[in-house]
Amino acid sequence: MIDLRSLREDPETAREAQRRRNASPALVDDILAADESRRSAIASFERLRAEQKSLGKQVAAASGPEERQALLDKTREVAAQVKTFEARQTAAEAEFSRLVAQLPNLASLEAPAGGEDDFVVLEHIGTPRDFAAEGFEPLDHIELGKRLGAIDIERGAKVSGARFYYLVGVGAELELALVAMAMDQAREDGFVPMLPPALVKPRAMEGTGFLGQAAADVFHLPDDDFYLVGTSEVALAAYHADEILDADSLPRRYVAFSPCYRREAGSYGKDTRGIFRVHWFDKVEMFTYTTVEASYDEHRRLLGWEKEWFAKLELPYRVIDTAAGDLGLSAVRKFDCEAWIPTQGKYRELTSTSNCTDFQARRLNIRGRFADGVRPVATLNGTLMASARTIVALLENHQQADGSVRVPKALQPYLHGRSVLEPVDTPL
RNA sequence: GGAGGAUUCGCAUAGUGGCCUAGUGCGCACGCUUGGAAAGCGUGUUGGGUGCAAGCCCACGCGGGUUCGAAUCCCGCAUCCUCCGCCA
C-alpha cells in the first residue's frame, strides 16, 4: 500500500501514476471517499467509547444504590450504541482496505508509460554469434539437452505433465554449479545466504502483492491454506514482517536459493516447447532492505550485480526499462536483463530487478528506527540466477558445431574444471 | 495425531472483574556526582489510529462472547515448550 497522507494531499499524482500504468484513476477517488467515511466512523465510535468509559468509572464510584442504578441504566444505553458504531467502523475499515489493496505502487516517472511493448532498451552488451558465418545451424536447447543427456522433457511430462522436466547427469551438475557460483558471488558482495521456505501463509503472499491480479498465477494448497512461492522474494520480504529494524543495520542484503512454482495461467500456447517457461524452476534471488531514499541507488547496484553475472556467463544480452503497465503491483520501476536466444532470434528475460520502495514494507509492517522516528523501510529484489532459462541460454549460445557446449571460464571451477560438455553415447 | 503447560513494554517478570492511566527489575539514553570511570542518585524509555492542537481512542498472541465495566471470566484459533505416538 502507498502512503495515505500523501495520497490525501496530492491525489493527482496517484491518478497520473494510474494512467501511466493503463490502470483506472477512478480507484484513487474511490479510496479517498472510503477513507473519508472510515475516518468519520472512527470519530463517532471514539466519542461514544470515551463516554462509556467515563460512565463506567462513575458506576464504580457511585455513592448509593439509587445513583448507581440510574447510572447503570444510562450506561447500558451507551453500551448498545457503542456496539452499533463499532460495527459501522469495522465495516468502513474493511471497505477501505479492500479498495486500497487494489492500488498498485506509484510507477516511477522515469519508467516508460504504457504496456508490455512500451519498454525502453537501455543498452546492448555483447554480440550474438553469427552461426551462418561459422558454417552451422544452431540447435535448440531441447535437442542439445537430449544429446548431452542433460534435460529430459518427455519423462517430465509423463510424471508431472506439461511444463515439467528432469535435469539429468550433466544438466543436474550444471544447475548445481550455477547455484553455487551465484551464491558465491552474492556472498562476496555482502549478501547473507538463506534457504527460505517455499510454502508460505496467505499473509506473506498478500504482503508482497501476489494475491491481487497475479493470484491466478499462484499455486494454492487449499487444505492447508499454503501458497507455493513463485519467487523467494515472498519469503525474504516476509522474513522481517512486524519488525522494527535499527537504522544502523541497513542496508540488509540477503541472497536466497529456492524452488519457484508458477501456474502460468495466462500463458497457454506461449513457449510451449522446451524448458523456457515451466511450472517449476530454481532461482538464486537477491533481496535488500534499505531506506526509500537509498533505494534508487540500490536498484542500480542490483542491476550491476546482474550484469556482472551475465559477463561471467559470457552471454550477449540487453537491459530494458520496463513500462509502467508491465510493473508488478509492488514495483515503482523494473529493469530486466534479456539474453539472446539464438534459435528464437530474440532477447528473452533471464533476470529482473524491482524497486518496491515502501509498498511491501507497509503491507508487511516492516519499519526502521531512524533519528527522526519510526518509518517503513524500502524493499528491493533482483534475480541473480533463474535455473531453467539460464541453462537454455548457456546451451544455445555456447554450443559448438559438433553438438558439444563450451563452458565459460568463470563456471569451470564449479564443474570440476571441465571446459566442454560433450554429447553422451546414448542421448535421452 | 494425543495429553499437559505457556503467550503482558527490547529482555525477565507482577498482575484472578473497577485502585491497571499496566507495576517492578534488567538493559538503554540523558543528567548529577568524579581528575576520569564504576557504583550510587535522579529523569526518561512500546507502537498504532484520529485531531490544527490540547487531547481522545486502540493494542496484554489473534478472533469472538459475557458484563455498565475484561490483562483478569467463557468459547474458538495460532504459535512455542514438555511428554507420548509416527516419521526423512
Instruction: Give catalytic residue positions of A.
Output: 262, 277, 349, 352, 389
Q: Indicate if the alpha-carbon torsion angle A11, A17, A18, A19 is positive or negative.
A: positive
Ranges of beta strands (E only) in A78-204 are 120-125, 151-152, 166-167, 192-194, 199-200
Q: What is the structure's pLDDT at A399?
A: 96
Q: Whole-number Å distance, CA A247 to C1' B30?
A: 21
Q: Whole-number Å distance, CA A107 to C1' B58?
A: 34
Q: What percent of chain A has pLDDT over 90?
A: 61
Predicted confidence band of residue A158 (pLDDT cuts 50, 70, 90): very high
d(CA A305, CA A343): 27
In angstroms, the Cα distances linking A277 to A261, A274, A280 are 11, 8, 9
Q: Using the CA of A45, which nucleotide's C1' is the nearest one?
A: B57
H or E element in which residue A143 lies: helix A141-147
Domain covering A4-100, topology = Helix Hairpins (1.10.287)
- In this chain, the answer to whether the domains covering A4-100 and A116-421 adopt an identical fold is no
In angstroms, the Cα distances linking A312 to A278, A349, A385, A392 are 25, 17, 12, 16
Q: Using the CA of A49, which nucleotide's C1' is the nearest one?
A: B57
d(CA A5, CA A8): 5
Q: Using the CA of A75, which nucleotide's C1' is the nearest one?
A: B68
Complex prediction ipTM: 0.81
- Please, which residues bridge with residue A246 across strands? A369
pTM of the model: 0.91
Highest-pLDDT range among A60-64, A111-115, A176-180: A176-180
Q: Whole-number Å distance, CA A371 to C1' B41?
A: 29
Chain B positions with an atom below 7 A of a protein C-beta are: 18, 47-51, 56-58, 64, 68-69
Q: Where are the domains of chain A?
A: 4-100, 116-421
Predicted confidence band of residue A63 (pLDDT cuts 50, 70, 90): low
Q: Whole-number Å distance, CA A46 to C1' B70?
A: 18
Which cell goes with A146? 537430449
pLDDT digits 0-9 by tens, A202-257: 888 988 988 877 788 899 888 778 899 999 999 999 998 888 888 888 899 999 99
Q: What is the structure's pLDDT at A368?
A: 86
Residue with C-alpha cell 511430462?
Answer: A157
Q: Using the CA of A78, which nucleotide's C1' is the nearest one?
A: B68
pLDDT digits 0-9 by tens, A329-379: 999 999 999 999 999 999 999 999 999 999 999 888 888 888 777 888 999
Q: Do A128 and A342 touch, CB atoms closer than 8 A?
A: yes
Q: Do A330 and A207 touch, CB atoms closer than 8 A?
A: no
| Interface residues, strand B, Cβ cutoff 7 Å | A 4, 39, 42-43, 45-47, 49-50, 52-57, 59-60, 72, 75-76, 78-79, 82, 90, 244, 367, 369, 374
Q: Whole-number Å distance, CA A103 to C1' B21?
A: 40
Q: Give the architecture (CATH level 2) of A116-421.
A: 2-Layer Sandwich (3.30)
